[in-house]
Amino acid sequence: MKELLAKLTGAFGPAGREEWVRALLLEELKQMGSPDSIVDDLGNLVVSRGNPENKIILVAAHMDQVGFMVTFIEENGFLRVTPVGGIEAKSLPGMRLRFRDGITGVIGQEKIKEQKELDFSKLYVDIGAVSLKGAQQQIQVGDTAVFDAPLMMEGNRYIAGAMDDRAGCAVLLETLRRLPRDLPQSVCFVFTVQEEVGLRGAQAVSYRINPHFGLAVDVTRTGDTPEPQFKTPVSLGKGPAIKIRDSSVICHPRVTALMRQVAEDKNIPHQLEVLEQGGTDAGAIHLSRAGVPSGALSIPCRYIHTPGEMVDHNDLENSVSFLLALLQTKW
């Protein structure tokens, strides 16, 4: 798992530029003897298992990560950027960014009177250029960057900038590797694009697949740190969470009941999740066509949308066991 996670979190993939993550996934699929995938016109990667004449479960994890897009280059070579996905300006000064071709930038901040004035208009990115022309030789308006935060392991915990949702991609891939051929229903594993900017890839691919059920595999916030901003009973290391609700979806009771039953029957440690802010691909899947009963398997993660996204090794292993058990159960 560590090696796979290191590769996946190290791949460059802000929303809209998922091609390097997709290439890596395609390579992994090829190595496991599974070249039978399709890439749709938006870039979603779909891998199908089981008899397509049976009911279909769409299982989605998003390839994209939050990042930054260059909006303007100043005369003196400093870059202005806008967030791609939900990133708070107040946590950014001093952080390192990485552009696709390896260029590093540091985020700086203009003088402000009060901390609450800090927004993206007061931030700039320094790539070491001393003029507009110098900067333009390396970077163009519209180029994107991500946090420069490769994978580290401390104790039983993994830390990386793109854990949201490469952890989910790793769980899908590992499940695919271990899933038997004979299944009670058909499963479409989808690695989606542009989740972080509004569940866009999932919306389009759900229409194509026309599933009977939907399941997103994504990270969720925990409440187990000192004085957390949001109270939630989800903790790191206590197992995958069964989503009940977030801002994008109220999970279908049939799906959540099935998930709880399977977790209990198979003795898989699990938790229940009600997320007050944030959404996931299940939000788009459940509204596709005439509606799709959907749920989500959430991987507990601290410090979401920062370079320090942290997940627990056992939670990942238990997420794979849980997904394997769910997909071998008749829905």
Q: Name which of 173, 144, 147, 174 is nearest 160 in CA terms.
A: 147
Of the pair 45, 79, the CB lying nearest Zn ion is at 45
34-42, 77-85, 152-160, 212-220 -> range binding Zn ion (CB under 5 A) = 212-220
Q: Choose which of 18, 143, 164, 309 interacts with Zn ion (CB under 5 A).
A: 164
DSSP 302: B
Q: Name which of 165, 169, 112, 101 is nearest 139 in CA terms.
A: 101
Q: Choose which of 165, 174, 273, 312 interacts with Zn ion (CB under 5 A).
A: 165
Distance from C-alpha of 278 to C-alpha of 200, rounded to nearest angstrom? 15
174 binds Zn ion (CB under 5 A): no
Asked whether 123 and 92 are in contact (CB, 8 A), the reply is: yes
64 binds Zn ion (CB under 5 A): no
- Please tell me which residue in 18, 195, 273, 309 is annotated as part of the active site: 195
Residue number closest to Zn ion, CB atom: 165
* Angle formed by the axes of helices 2-10 and 163-178, nearest 10°: 130
Q: How many binding residues for Zn ion (CB under 5 A)?
A: 3
Distance from C-alpha of 165 to C-alpha of 184, rounded to nearest angstrom? 27
Of the pair 73, 311, the CB lying nearest Zn ion is at 311
Closest approach of Cβ 279 to Zn ion, in Å? 9
Interaction pattern, residues 275-294, with Zn ion; x per rule: CB under 5 A: --------------------
Closest approach of Cβ 65 to Zn ion, in Å? 8
Distance from C-alpha of 286 to C-alpha of 46, rounded to nearest angstrom? 18
Distance from C-alpha of 111 to C-alpha of 130, rounded to nearest angstrom? 20
DSSP 166: H
134-142, 211-219, 269-277, 315-323 -> range binding Zn ion (CB under 5 A) = 211-219
Closest approach of Cβ 156 to Zn ion, in Å? 22
276 flagged as catalytic:
no
The helix or strand, by DSSP H or E, that contains position 218, with its residue range, turns out to be: strand 213-221
Closest approach of Cβ 33 to Zn ion, in Å? 29
Rg (CA), the chain: 20
Asked whether 251 and 259 are in contact (CB, 8 A), the reply is: no
Of the pair 35, 86, the CB lying nearest Zn ion is at 86
| Bridge partners, residue 106, by sequence | 96, 126
| Main-chain dihedrals φ then ψ at residue 253, nearest 5 degrees | -60, -30
218 binds Zn ion (CB under 5 A): yes
Closest approach of Cβ 219 to Zn ion, in Å? 6
Closest approach of Cβ 243 to Zn ion, in Å? 12
**Contacts to Zn ion by CB under 5 A:** 164-165, 218
Active-site residue set = 195
